[in-house]
Chains A and B, each alone.
Chain A
Amino acid sequence: MKKKFLSVVLSVAMAATLLVGCGSTSDNSSSDTQTPAAEESTDAAADSTDAAADNKGADPADYKVVMVVKQSDSWFDDMATGIEQLKKDTGLNVSVQVPETGDAASQISIMEDLIAQDVDAICVVPNDPNALVPTIEKAREAGIVVVTHEAPGIADSVDLDVEAFVNETFGELFAEKLATAMGGKGKYAGFVGGLTMETHMAWYDAAVSYLKANYPDMENVAEEPYEDGNSVEGAHDKALEVLKAYPDIAGFFDCSAQGGGICEALQENDLGGTVKVVSLALPSMSATYLKDGSMANGLCWRPADAGYAACYAAYLIASGQGVSDGTDLKATGYESISLDGNVGYGNAPLEFTADNIDDYNF
């Protein structure tokens, strides 16, 4: 009796929803021939929208592009403002999906839902690029364009990966800034978030070899980079160790955005501003140190521009215009991307000093 009642309630609910579903489907596809079975009619409707997608022109308003970011924080809030701007500039039907937590699982379920909604393109900043590959493949099999950002490792599986810069160039920028601040001579130490972090290591290696080649008077105190563990405390403690071991050190650079920890350690030893610090920087975390002079330069890229460029590239590919070497993605630093395989590099490093730091809020 009990199970019967339960199943009756549920099946009534299901039947009602099916009916409603059918109703709106037939509204949408008035030209469609009506088929009696519910499932067939929805299928047919899906087919007709697919066909329409193929015949769409270049009007941005006809394309639905969705950006799936990593999580909710000030970095991705800034990215969302860039995407809002793109919507205003071009009329592209673009929106942002924010997972509740920074977890690949939530990104996958959002992407699954988007595939079922048959959007034209998905842009994604993967939390764990490899875990997303099967879902990305599924999306592309369904005819959806996929553009990633910060995931050159899986570029073969996507339509395009947009990067703010070539990692070597960015690493050399670190080196150049540090050398300028230190006057081209003295001992320095390099930090990364962790030895397994590919981008950090690429920047570190490029910076060190650039300094070796161009500034013979500068000396790296260690063969390997120090690990700050992506935490301010880690950077602070490591910097104290380095100071103890090498009292004559004259500069630090940090490839993770924890340079503030180094500045704290220097200030505790009254060395703030004397020993130079160049770090990857977020305005929210580094403004204080840039202003009080303990950090010479902060380096970064603008999430808003990266989001703008990635979504615009997705639209270009979805509408058949394509992206090639030199394509203008309309965002600052991405005016002429250089294409290497499936990776499109912009030239968009952003440099913070005490004077311009207040212009940014991410």
Chain B
Amino acid sequence: MKKVKSFLEKDIDLSILVGLTAAVLLIAAFVFGSSMYSARNIQSMAFQIPEFGFLALAMMLSNMVGGIDLSIIANANTVAIFTAYVLNGTWAFGTQGGARVALAVLVALCTSLVFGLLNGLIIAKTSAPSLVATLGTMTLIQGVGMAITGGTSVGDIDPLFSSFGKAIFLGLPVIFWLFLIVALVLGLILSLTGFGRKLYLYGGNPVAARFSGFHNEKMSVLVFMLTAVLSGIAGLIILSRVNSAKVGYGDSYLLQTMIVCVIGGIDPNGGKGKVGGVVIAIILMQVMSSAFTIMSLSPYTKKLIWGIMLILVLGLNHIIAIQSKKSTLKKSMKALASAAK
């Protein structure tokens, strides 16, 4: 029992999140029964998670270094637009079938890397707050997409590519597996590699990081490039799911990614949080949103519930943080007192 307790206290935010998710899953089971947990509905939820999931992971990374990347949605859409132009033959340079898809993915990767580099350089070189810098690049990247398309949607893409968004492997969508794999790899990178450890340190205290001999500018550029690649993948998934790309698709995701990160235990001030937490939060969010559809809730009610959730999680985390601080203080006082005796 003590072991369990000490484990729960070790990562209290995650424990709360897991408890909450378990509670929501159970409540959903009792209220909706088979309509929530039919193979069909689980599959449908798994189809919806990846495009939002990748954006949330991107937001998570930028949060972990104490920043924020507002340009993720614009980035995803513009990458999708570039890719769509390759896939519908406009910029295909004579490639066909598989070669064209490969070229498209390459273009997507390069585009997102360029956008990420832009973000990273602005933030690193000018020391501008990422909020301001990415607000600017968001508008800029959106403008690029707008200028190319004139605001209309780009469609008519290679069917080989769109079949990817519909494909199913072992009962779950391929895009969902992709999301799980990327999340796992990202989690491993953050917890096991030197880069990951540096990232946490840099995020938690950039000044200390600088004095420890970290190359802060390089870190910031790398993080924002990684963020951009993740949003680029989101763009590819959007494209394969909706068969077309357009400026402004999924604008409403921006706020939701921030909510998911906070619920998932990411500290917006940086240096704290785990990929696992965010993945659980994404699943929690999807289950709740499907439940809302089954109940045909009005948007006001939905917002009310999201708000309550957010405050509940934050409030609990805060109270527990204070409690644990108090108890450590007491312990050390006791230790002091006994030492004095």
Binding site for B on A (CB under 8 A): 1-2, 5-6, 9-10, 12-14, 16-18, 20-25, 28, 39, 42-43, 45-46, 66, 72, 95-101, 103-106, 108-110, 112-118, 128, 130-135, 138, 196
Contacts and interface: CB of A to CB of B under 8 A. Distances in A.
A17 to B, nearest CB: 4
B252 A21 contact: no
A298 B152 CA distance: 29
A118 B41 CA distance: 10
Contacts of B162: 134
Contacts of B35: 117
B30 interface: yes
B40 A118 contact: yes
Nearest to B243: A134
10 smallest beta-carbon distances between A and B, as pairs: A24-B33, A17-B29, A116-B44, A21-B37, A101-B252, A113-B293, A13-B22, A116-B41, A105-B250, A20-B29
B11 A21 contact: no
Contacts of A132: 242
B26 interface: yes
Nearest to B34: A25
Given A21-B33, A115-B44, A130-B243, A2 B7 contact: yes
A196 B152 CA distance: 8
Contacts of A110: 293
Which of A106, A118, A135, A196 has the most chain B CB within a 10 Å cutoff?
Answer: A106
Nearest to B37: A21
B246 interface: yes
B48 A42 contact: no
Contacts of B18: 6, 9-10
B43 interface: yes
A80 B298 CA distance: 11
A103 B166 CA distance: 21
A229 to B, nearest CB: 12
Given A13-B25, A72-B299, A105 B33 contact: no
B242 A113 contact: no
A1 B7 contact: yes
Contact of B22 (A9, A98, A105, A134): A9
Contacts of B242: 104, 108, 130-135
A96 B298 CA distance: 9
A99 B253 CA distance: 13
A114 B296 CA distance: 10
A10 B4 CA distance: 15
A108 to B, nearest CB: 7
Contacts of A39: 39
B132 interface: no
Contact of B298 (A22, A98, A112): A98
Given A46-B38, A100-B302, A134 B252 contact: no
B37 A13 contact: no
Given A17-B25, A25-B38, A116-B45, 19 more contacts: A16-B26, A24-B34, A46-B40, A100-B299, A100-B302, A104-B242, A105-B238, A105-B249, A105-B253, A109-B289, A113-B41, A113-B44, A113-B48, A113-B294, A116-B43, A116-B290, A117-B294, A118-B40, A134-B242
B153 interface: yes
Contacts of A21: 29, 33-34, 36-38
B26 A13 contact: yes
A180 to B, nearest CB: 35
A289 B177 CA distance: 57
Nearest to B250: A105
Nearest to A142: B40
B331 interface: no
Contacts of A14: 25
Contact of A117 (B11, B41, B276): B41
Interface string B230-254: 0000000010011110101111110
Given A42-B34, A112-B44, A128 B153 contact: yes
Given A42-B38, A106-B252, A131-B249, A5 B25 contact: no
A45 B150 CA distance: 48
Contacts of A116: 38, 40-41, 43-45, 290
A163 to B, nearest CB: 21
A128 B25 contact: no
A13 B24 CA distance: 10
Contact of B296 (A20, A96, A134): A96
A163 B241 CA distance: 27
B246 A131 contact: yes
